């Protein structure tokens, strides 16, 4: 069993770097705070004799050798960058749980056949630099190193320059793993949703992650005075937008249980209380477990927009898809290993599909992959109020330990 | 008949003061541009021998004496302040049409039994200083002079100080009319709506103005991650707001033909595309011809908000009424005089209810009042694209001339 107190203490210590007044963390990718967090992580890795390598996009890999020279590594990890008003657990938990697994093995002098690694991926959050999940994206070849290095923040500073500045522009070729690609990758993470808490269960076994289609939608009608313009002579862009918001929700309900549909962003023009809105810009975020469902949702959105335009000749609606992530199915053998570990430990669990993107989604393109979820308070993340219970975090790390041992010695 | 060219030329000359690149006018109340506009208007009044007086809130009254010392004045007018991106006609037309009536009488040496006045009311638009319709509001006693003088703009400058600065802090007591309150007041104005244009008619006879109830609505739900939060565990403030937007429109349709319901303003928090909105602030603008209808609309809005809250225990909706204007019915005898003038001149007309507030609405509390509408292009106002046809403006002014002659000699 892992050491629950040590895991909690490490999370709290790491959470000091970039700590915010409300108990959260602001440790944006490639800032001085990120450098301090990385330095501390590497210091802890070296304390237990791990070999550290940094790749060209700044991903940190810390390896514990195995006894069998023919085995490829079993990897664990996540990220330690945060949202501007983020919490202490999102990402950090997966890295600290991986470290705790290696500390436990080190403490007990336990050798494994396969080498083990714990990874801190660069810029998962994508708050400062897009694309999100940048380190694992470059590692998996989803986009090029050059593309990632050229990304700039709102100040115009680039990923390449900022990596140099904080001393994390590594030399190890991105995507290369000594001895060959991982035999398996397991990422522990807070759920970021309310399901485990609602079921009062400490561990989620993650079969995969929802596919995503994101859109920018622009509605144009006719700006006019709210007083003298009769109801039947209006071309109200916000009224049409409201119908789309309602429909986006309905579309997700129609594709239950795993579909999601969200309008998170809306900008109304000219946004004056006695002027009928002339135009509205809004986002649509669709998620589903399979591509056929995503496509059906996509089509339903377009049909509804066409219907609205047929009913109002002066209304135009433009829909542009701006993000696409295919649905991700983690590896059945890997998922089974995680489930068996939980069963063996007598830890209650259930299946929880990941609604959010994770580094594991990219790694799954290269290696057998699974994820372990633990509950977070009220399902809240990306918020300084993010919280989790020490006993849940410990149980997730115990499951990780036993799954990794099973994989490394199997 | 009035001189159509002279009327048009005066509107164009006045429109030079504060002219914008797109052909509109920016002449906010009590700015240097407003002073220049006022100076020009007074210069034109003095050219035809009118007696000018300025009252304590800066309203300008220009009088042409009558032959009967026992008669009280017949007044015309509107305002010459504009929106920040306003047009050349809104308000300006009513003042220039009144001036053109007096110029025509002067030119032809026609005396009237009752004195005639043309008025430019201070700060009708309310863009720089609230409340709107300030000059006529103080004149009619809707609010106090002290309240109006203390109003400040976003720079912190007050109405009182700005009136002093531009030299229009008059000494005539607000609300006083020499010889007694007006026998009648007639305001000519562009329609600001699409009805006359749709019916291809040059003149609108205005039976009254819609009553108004304005609200600030705040919806609070629960901010959460758009990916991991299942549809049936959400408390989406924007989804509820969309339902309210749809309902506001439906409520107005249910109270056809004269009711209006508009959501012109909406602010979504935190407005991030992969976060379920936690709160939404929005406006509601209800208008109707009678108070019973307004109340029924008010009740329907509250019922719907209660329904939404009953369906989602974590959703709260606060509705605060921030503006109330009672419905205004202009004076039947005055309205009839305007209609007879149009008929006598053979000018096509129809009834058009005013959907917007006007200075005439306040004056109607003190004196028999009517309004004359003329079409504006596409029903557009409060926009640099605001436009109107010289022949329509001339016909409206002709109707004004004949109505005023009828009232002054009747
Ligand atoms: N884990 C996470 O919050 N990813 C952000 C991208 C998403 O919305 O799925
Ligand atoms: N005439 C006019 O635009 N008044 C503004 C107030 C309103 O919305 O009615």
pLDDT digits (tens, 9 = 90+) for A221-237: 999 999 999 999 999 99
Phi and psi based region of residue A53 (left: phi greater than 0; alpha: psi -120 to 50; beta: remaining): beta
What Å distances lie between residue B23 and A223, B11, B112, B378, B387, CA to CA? 18, 13, 38, 16, 9
How close is the Cα of A36 to the center of ligand 1, in Å? 24
Q: Is A11's pLDDT higher than 90?
A: yes
- A125 annotated among ligand-binding-site residues: yes
Nearest CA residue ID for atom 9, ligand 1: A356
For residue A410, pLDDT over 90 is answered with: no
Q: What is the pLDDT of residues B184-213, one digit of tens each?
A: 999 999 999 999 999 999 999 999 999 999
Ligand 2, atom 3: closest residue by C-alpha: B356
Q: Which residues of chain A from 157 to 176 reach within 8 Å of chain B, CB to CB? A: none
Model confidence at B122, pLDDT cuts 50, 70, 90, reads very high
* CA of B226, closest atom in ligand 1: 8
Using an 8 Å CB-CB cutoff, list chain A residues near B257.
Answer: 230
Chain B residue with the nearest C-alpha to that of A288: B227
Q: Which two tokens stand for residue A107?
A: 């403490």
Mutate which of B85, B328, B356, B359 for ligand 2? The one with the most ligand atoms within 8 Å of its CB, which is B356
Q: Are A110 and A13 in contact (CB under 8 A)?
A: no
Average pLDDT over residues A379-395: 95
Across the interface, whether the CB atoms of A225 and B266 are under 8 A apart is answered: no
What are residue A117's DSSP bridge partners? A63, A75
A128 part of contact set with chain B, CB < 8 Å: no
Q: Is B79 annotated as a binding residue?
A: yes
Residue numbers of B between 285 and 314 with CB closer than 8 Å to A: 285, 287
Nearest CA to ligand 1 atom 4: A357
**Cα–Cα distance measured from residue B350 to residue B219, given in angstroms and rounded to the nearest whole number:** 42
pLDDT digits (tens, 9 = 90+) for A359-383: 999 999 999 999 999 999 999 998 8
Residues on chain B touching A214 (C-beta within 8 angstroms)? 273-274
When pLDDT is averaged across residues B18-43 and rounded to a whole number, the result is 97
- Ligand 2 centroid to Cα of residue B200, in Å, is 24
Q: What is the dihedral of CA A271, A275, A279, A282, to 10 degrees?
A: 40
Mean per-residue pLDDT of chain A: 97
Which residue owns the Cα nearest ligand 2 atom 9? Answer: B356
What residues flank ligand 2, with Cβ below 6 Å? A 227, 274; B 132, 356-358
Burial status of residue A217 (CB atoms within 10 A of its CB: 0-12, 13-18, 19 or more): buried
∠ CA B55-B59-B61 to the nearest 5 degrees? 85
Determine, for residues B230 and A194 on separate chains, whether the beta-carbon distance falls below 8 Å. yes
Known binder of ligand: residue B199? no
Q: Determine the residue of chain B that is closest to A352 in CA distance.
A: B228
Question: Best mutation site among B226, B251, B312 for testing chain A: the one with the most A CBs within 10 Å?
Answer: B226
Mapping DSSP to helix (H, G, I), strand (E, B) and coil, where does residue B222 land? strand
Q: pLDDT tens, B46-72?
A: 999 999 999 999 999 999 999 999 999
Q: Which of B165, B174, B179 is nearest to B38 (CA)?
A: B165
* Residue B189 is labelled as binding a ligand: yes
pLDDT score at B123:
97
Report pLDDT for A291. Answer: 97
User: How far is ligand 2, taken at its centre, from the CA of residue B358, in Å?
Assistant: 7
Query: Distance (Å, rounded) from C-alpha B119 to C-alpha B128?
Result: 21
Check if the beta carbon of residue A234 is closer than 8 Å to that of residue A223. Answer: no
User: Does B230 sit within 8 Å of A257, measured CB to CB?
Assistant: yes
Q: Mark yes or no for CB contact B226/A268 under 8 Å.
A: no
Our CA-based measurement puts residue A382 at a distance from the nearest CA of chain B, in whole angstroms, of: 8
Burial B375-400 (b: 16+ CB within 10 A, else e): bbbebbbbbbebbbeeebbbbbbbbb
Q: Is B195 on the interface with A (CB under 8 A)?
A: yes
Which are the contacts of B42, defined by CB distance < 8 A and separation ≥ 6?
A: B52, B60, B62
Q: Per-residue pLDDT for B220 more than 90?
A: yes
Residues with Cβ within 8 Å of B227's Cβ and at least 6 positions away in sequence, in order, are A192, A193, A210, A212, A260, A285, A287, A354, A355, A356, A357, B274
Please list, residue by residue across B307-324, b when 16 or more beta carbons sit within 10 angstroms of its beta carbon and e when fewer do: ebeeebeebbbeeeeebe
What's the rounded Cα separation, in Å, for the pair B233 and B229? 7
Flag whether pLDDT at B127 surpasses 90.
no
Q: Say if CB B296 and CB B255 are below 8 A apart.
A: yes
Using the predicted structure, report yes or no on whether residue A356 has a pLDDT greater than 90: yes
pLDDT per residue as tens digits for the range A30-83: 999 999 999 999 999 999 999 999 999 999 999 999 999 999 999 999 999 999
Q: Which atom of ligand 2 is nearest to the CA of B287?
A: 9
| Segment B372-387 mean pLDDT | 94
DSSP readout, A327-369? -EE--HHHHHHHHHHHHHHT--EEE--B-S--HHHHHTTTS-E
Residue A386 per-residue DSSP state:
-
Distance CA A47, CA A61 (A): 15
Count A/B contacts: CB-CB distance under 8 Å. 205
A77-131 tens-digit pLDDT: 999 999 988 999 999 999 999 999 999 999 999 999 999 999 999 999 998 998 9
- The ligand that comes nearest to the alpha carbon of residue B272 is 1
CA of B336 to the centre of ligand 2 (A): 25
> How is the beta sheet containing A60-64 ordered, strand by strand?
A51-54, A60-64, A116-121, A74-79, A184-190, A369-374, A203-206, A349-351
Mutate to test the interface with B, among A192, A215, A231 (most CBs of B within 10 A): A231
Ligand 1, CB cutoff 6 Å, lining residues: A 132, 356-358; B 227, 274
For β-strands A279-288 and A60-64, DSSP reports them as unpaired
* Site to substitute for ligand 1 among B228, B272, B273, B274, most atoms within 8 A of C-beta: B274
At A359, phi and psi to the nearest 5? -55, -35
pLDDT at B243: 98
Looking at every residue in chain B, the average pLDDT score rounds to 97
- Touching check for A112 and chain B: CB below 8 Å? no
Tokens linked to B367: 């004196």
Give B121 Cα–ligand 1 centroid separation in angstroms. 57
Judge whether A191 is closer than 8 Å to chain B, CB to CB: yes
Reported as a single tens digit per residue, the pLDDT across A301-331 is 999 999 999 999 999 999 999 889 999 999 9
Q: Which residue among B198, B261, B268 sits closest to A266, beta carbon to beta carbon? A: B268
Element (H, E) at B139: helix B134-140
Q: Is A199 a known ligand-binding residue? A: no
Closest ligand 1 atom, residue A91 Cα: 1
Residue A141 backbone phi and psi in degrees, to 5? 80, 15
B269 close contact with A: CB closer than 8 A = no
- pLDDT category, A137, cuts 50, 70, 90? very high
H helix count then E strand count, chain B: 12, 17
For helices B4-16 and B92-107, give the axis angle rounded to 10 degrees.
140
- For A316, left (φ over 0), alpha (ψ -120 to 50), or beta? beta
Q: What is the pLDDT of residue A343?
A: 98
């Amino acid at each position: 069993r892992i050491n629950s107190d040590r895991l909690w203490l490490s999370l709290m210590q790491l959470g000091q770097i970039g700590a915010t007044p409300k108990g959260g963390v602001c440790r944006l990718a490639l800032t001085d705070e990120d450098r301090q967090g990385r330095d501390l992580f590497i210091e802890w890795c070296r304390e237990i004799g791990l070999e550290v390598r940094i790749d060209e996009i700044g991903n940190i890999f810390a390896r514990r050798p195995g006894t069998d020279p023919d085995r490829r590594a079993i990897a664990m990890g996540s990220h330690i960058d945060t949202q501007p008003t983020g919490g202490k657990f999102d990402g950090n938990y997966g890295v600290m749980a991986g470290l705790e697994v290696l500390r436990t093995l080190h403490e007990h002098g336990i050798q494994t056949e396969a080498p083990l690694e714990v990874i801190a991926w660069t810029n998962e959050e994508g708050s400062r630099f897009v694309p999100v999940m940048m380190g694992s994206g470059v590692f998996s070849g989803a986009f090029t190193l050059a593309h990632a290095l050229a990304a700039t923040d709102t100040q115009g500073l680039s990923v390449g320059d900022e990596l140099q500045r904080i001393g994390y522009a590594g030399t190890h070729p991105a995507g290369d793993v000594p001895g060959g690609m991982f035999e398996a990758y397991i990422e522990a993470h807070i759920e970021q949703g309310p399901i485990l808490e609602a079921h009062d269960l400490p561990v989620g076994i993650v079969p995969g992650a929802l596919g995503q289609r994101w859109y920018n939608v622009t509605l144009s009608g006719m700006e006019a005075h709210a007083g003298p313009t009769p109801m039947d002579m209006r071309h109200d862009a916000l009224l049409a937008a409201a119908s789309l918001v309602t429909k986006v929700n309905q579309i997700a309900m129609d594709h239950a249980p795993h579909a999601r549909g969200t309008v998170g962003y809306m900008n109304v023009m000219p946004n004056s209380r006695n002027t009928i809105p002339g135009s509205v810009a809004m986002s649509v975020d669709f998620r589903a477990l399979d591509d056929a469902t995503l496509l059906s949702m996509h089509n339903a959105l377009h049909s509804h927009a066409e219907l609205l335009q047929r009913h109002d000749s002066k209304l135009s609606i433009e829909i542009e898809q701006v993000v696409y992530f295919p649905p991700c199915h983690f590896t059945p053998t890997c998922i089974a290993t995680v489930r068996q570990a939980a069963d063996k430990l007598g830890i209650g669990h259930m299946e929880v599909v990941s609604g959010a993107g994770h580094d594991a989604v990219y790694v799954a393109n290269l290696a057998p992959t699974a994820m372990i979820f633990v509950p977070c308070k009220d399902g809240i993340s990306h918020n300084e109020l993010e919280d989790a219970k020490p006993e849940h975090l410990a149980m997730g790390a115990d499951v990780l330990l036993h799954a990794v041992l099973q994989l490394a010695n199997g």
